Amino acid sequence: MKQLVLGNAAVARGLYGAGCCVISSYPGTPSTEITEEAVKFPEIYCEWAPNEKVAMEAAFGACLAGKRSFCAMKHVGLNVAADPLYTMSYTGVNAGMVIGVADDAGMHSSQNEQDSRHHAIAAKVPMLEPSDSAESLKFAKLAFELSEQFDTPVLLKMCTRVAHSQSLVELSDRVEQPVKAYEKNIGKFVMMPGNAIRRHPVVEQRTAALTEWAETAPINRVEMGGTELGIITSSTSYQYVKEVFGDSVSVLKLGMANPLPIKLIRDFAAKVKNVVVVEELDPIIENHCRQLGIEVSGKDVLPITGEFCQNLVAEKLGGEVHTGKALEDVIPPRPPVMCAGCPHRGLFYTLSKNKCTVLGDIGCYTLGAVAPLSAMDMTLCMGASVSALHGFNKALGEAAGKTVAVIGDSTFMHSGMTGLANIAYNGSNSTVIIVDNSITGMTGHQHNPTTGYNIKGDPAGKIDLEALCRAMGFERVRVVDPYDLKACDAVLKEELAADAPSVIISRRPCALLKSVKHAAPLTVDTDKCRSCKACMKIGCPAISMKNGKAHVDNTLCVGCGVCEQLCAFGAFKSTK
């Protein structure tokens, strides 16, 4: 029977069906659920690795050992894992290995909208691109077959709308794969120059063979519907094209993003009068066509930025555009905010009050940049806060003033440690703040090496952050509770004044964790409230001004008491 399955869950189901045995991933929207769903199958060993590079290398080790393996990451995670990827292309695999990468056109939850297809082309690795959940399952299984047939890791490219959409899927059973006995093969697996020189031509021959395969592969299919307009498309863009035009135009639907077929595209283009390429983000299929000397339209009519949708495709390609009525009123935007009771709030309030320059990082705490806290000056990529703080301080010395780095526990484990090593080694007077909320928050509560639990929630190795920082040479390691504003302020001032590098660990578990018990909501004594709005400086979504007085929304308030500490008139009280 068919089931309604999330794209990412369908990938997990495909991995299960293909007999995949080992999965190592780092969470990242929109890829996270692949691994979270796969862990539900007892036949598959799953783990959260500290970062994507470690995950990919762990998966590589597993495939080398002879079992089918997988790793998942978001698009920017593939940059972190690019180093092993580009050389795994040379070594090839033993048992099959597949890498799931999820792009985020539209940047629903990302810092850029890079197109992962570039990595597939540059690394010379095949990439499959499903357009719905049924294909997600099918392509995950096919990816393992290709991996073993062509001796290559295979990329499975998801995007937000495929990863986070549910559609109907026919589930299939697991087929166990025999272990491919590991055999020593120095020439294939030891990539030193002498061996790599011999492997590179193998990679080029493989790409030629894969191109040949792509010419007739059923995942690249032609749906003829007239000779006027032919659309070449892939992934979720295919769905928008079909939504607008149904069977009234001809479509070449490409399920393989790399390598792209040549003859298939030439033949399709020859059958229609005009060819348009409909692809999100970069003009990769379009440039391929141009290279073949085929006259196509693409980014001259469709945008290179953001997500597509059916109205956009209709508007640009002459379909029926739907419109609706809007109100004349200005609808205020509703940007994401730190949750009520978020432990990061007290820390960012303290940083804002002390007028610090804050080099930030990737996680929920990036929301510290949002008004009214506005307590962040830079966010770049995982770990950059720590490394950039060092550079900032080296450049300006004493003149750097009150500059700090803020990084989460999971992000610190991912790539903050190496930056901290640089501070210790090359000696800058830097103050690094680790906001330790005991979980990977933004991606929906995944454990990491500092939480003491593994992906299944079972007890696991726990890295002691204080001991780690001390072992790296930091003599000043302080721990503070961000709900205690006075203590936060005092510790921050001391560490900024100190003539030595320091680490402040701002520690309190995420307020959304089920294990966290909340205090009763607060309420405002309107007789005591003087409408000074001091409590409004922390940007808590539970506090607003109603009839000139502060008001607490009791459905949101978790009684953290940070607002209470800001009120000089004792207007906040517990409802307990």
Partner 1 sequence: MKTKNVMIVGVGGQGSLLASKLLGHLLMGQGYDVKVSEVHGMSQRGGSVVTYVRYGDKVYSPVIDKGEADYIVSFELLEAARWLSYLKPDGQIVTSTQQVDPMPVITGAAEYPTDLVNKMLATGAKVDALDCLSLAEQAGSAKAVNLVLLGRLSHYFDLPEEAWQKSIEACVPAKFLELNKKAFELGKNA
Q: Which residues form the interface with partner 1 (CB under 8 A)?
A: 2-4, 29-30, 32-33, 108-109, 132, 160-162, 164-168, 236, 239-240, 242-243, 309-311, 322-339, 364, 367, 370-372, 442-444, 536, 539, 541, 543-545, 553, 555
Question: Cβ of residue 237: shortest distance to partner 1, in angstroms?
Answer: 10
Among residues 387 and 443, whose Cβ is nearest to partner 1? 443
Question: Cβ of residue 295: shortest distance to partner 1, in angstroms?
Answer: 28
Residue type, position 55, single letter? A
Structure token digits, residue 176:
């166990």
Question: Cβ of residue 490: shortest distance to partner 1, in angstroms?
Answer: 28
Question: Cβ of residue 229: shortest distance to partner 1, in angstroms?
Answer: 17
Question: Cβ of residue 250: shortest distance to partner 1, in angstroms?
Answer: 16
Question: Cβ of residue 321: shortest distance to partner 1, in angstroms?
Answer: 8
Residue type, position 269, single letter? A
Question: Cβ of residue 335: shortest distance to partner 1, in angstroms?
Answer: 6
DSSP string, 67-109: S-EEEEEEHHHHHHTHHHHHHHHHH--SS-EEEEEEE-TT-SS
Beta bridge partners of 71: 99
Among residues 75 and 124, whose Cβ is nearest to partner 1? 75
Among residues 17 and 341, whose Cβ is nearest to partner 1? 341
Nearest to 94 by CA among 41, 21, 45, 15: 21
Question: Cβ of residue 428: shortest distance to partner 1, in angstroms?
Answer: 31
Question: Cβ of residue 491: shortest distance to partner 1, in angstroms?
Answer: 27
Among residues 377 and 553, whose Cβ is nearest to partner 1? 553
Question: Cβ of residue 161: shortest distance to partner 1, in angstroms?
Answer: 5
Among residues 6 and 22, whose Cβ is nearest to partner 1? 6
For the chain, the C-alpha Rg in angstroms (whole number) is 27
Among residues 109 and 287, whose Cβ is nearest to partner 1? 109
Question: Cβ of residue 59: shortest distance to partner 1, in angstroms?
Answer: 23
Question: Cβ of residue 283: shortest distance to partner 1, in angstroms?
Answer: 22
DSSP string, 483-503: T-HHHHHHHHHHHHHSSS-EE
DSSP letter assigned to residue 124:
T
Q: Are 379 and 361 a contacting pair, CB within 8 Å?
A: yes
Question: Cβ of residue 512: shortest distance to partner 1, in angstroms?
Answer: 9
Among residues 262 and 556, whose Cβ is nearest to partner 1? 556
Question: Cβ of residue 391: shortest distance to partner 1, in angstroms?
Answer: 27
At residue 19's C-alpha, the angle toward residues 55 and 414, to 5°, is 10
Among residues 33 and 52, whose Cβ is nearest to partner 1? 33
Tell me: cis bond preceding 333? Omega within 30 of 0 counts: no
Structure token digits, residue 273:
């009068």
Q: CA–CA separation, 389 vs 360, rounded Å?
A: 9
Beta bridge partners of 537: none
Among residues 146 and 163, whose Cβ is nearest to partner 1? 163
Q: Are 466 and 476 a contacting pair, CB within 8 Å?
A: no
C-alpha pair distances (Å), 201 with each of 90, 127, 196, 247: 9, 20, 9, 43
Q: CA–CA separation, 263 vs 269, rounded Å?
A: 10
Among residues 40 and 198, whose Cβ is nearest to partner 1? 40
Among residues 63 and 340, whose Cβ is nearest to partner 1? 340
Angle in degrees, 0-180, between the axes of helices 82-91 and 193-216, rounded to the nearest 10: 80
Among residues 10 and 294, whose Cβ is nearest to partner 1? 10
Structure token digits, residue 160:
């937000």
DSSP string, 336-374: --PPTT-THHHHHHHHHHTT-EEE--SSGGGGGGSTTT-
Residue type, position 31, single letter? S
Sign of CA dihedral 387, 390, 394, 397: positive
Q: Which residues, other chains included, contact 474 with Cβ-Cβ below 8 Å and sequence gap of 6+? A: 420, 424, 501, 502, 503
Q: Which residues, other chains included, contact 500 with Cβ-Cβ below 8 Å and sequence gap of 6+? A: 429, 475, 476
Angle in degrees, 0-180, between the axes of helices 417-426 and 384-396, rounded to the nearest 10: 20
Among residues 255 and 261, whose Cβ is nearest to partner 1? 255
Nearest to 179 by CA among 71, 97, 65: 65
Among residues 14 and 319, whose Cβ is nearest to partner 1? 319
Q: Are 478 and 503 a contacting pair, CB within 8 Å?
A: yes
Structure token digits, residue 229:
């307009």
